[in-house]
């Protein structure tokens, strides 16, 4: 039987999870109690999370654009280009 946590870590984190983690990183860095090295590591992780969130938002925007242009509500879940 597959553990839910194991399955979640194997998949890319959701937009919401990435955003929550990014907010935590920002709060930790802004706290100012980390060393420069630790702050840089968290900053790098934050950049990766930001890129992941931007990609998710761009994909969602593209799906919305396609749906509204075609005036259709067909599911795009099976579209490999998105």
Domains and CATH numbers, the chain: 15-70 (1.10.287.1040)
Q: At what angle do helices 15-31 and 36-70 cross, to 10 degrees?
A: 150
Categorize the per-residue pLDDT at 77 as very low, low, confident or very high, splitting at 50, 70 and 90: low
Categorize the per-residue pLDDT at 68 as very low, low, confident or very high, splitting at 50, 70 and 90: confident
Which of 43-57 are b and which e, b meaning 16 or more Cβ less than 10 Å from the residue's Cβ? Answer: eeebeebeebbeebe
What tokens does 46 get? Answer: 């934050």
pLDDT at residue number 8: 47
pLDDT at residue number 75: 57
Tens digit of each residue's pLDDT (9 = 90 or more) over 11-64: 778 999 999 999 999 999 999 999 999 999 999 999 999 999 999 999 999 999
């Amino acid at each position: 039987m597959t553990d839910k946590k194991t399955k979640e870590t194997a998949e890319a984190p959701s937009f919401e999870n990435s955003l929550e983690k990014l907010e935590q990183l920002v709060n930790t860095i802004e706290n100012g109690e980390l060393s420069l090295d630790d702050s840089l590591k968290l900053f790098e992780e934050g950049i990766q999370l930001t890129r992941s969130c931007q990609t998710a938002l761009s994909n969602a925007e593209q799906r919305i654009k396609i749906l509204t242009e075609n005036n259709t509500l067909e599911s795009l879940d099976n579209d490999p280009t998105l």
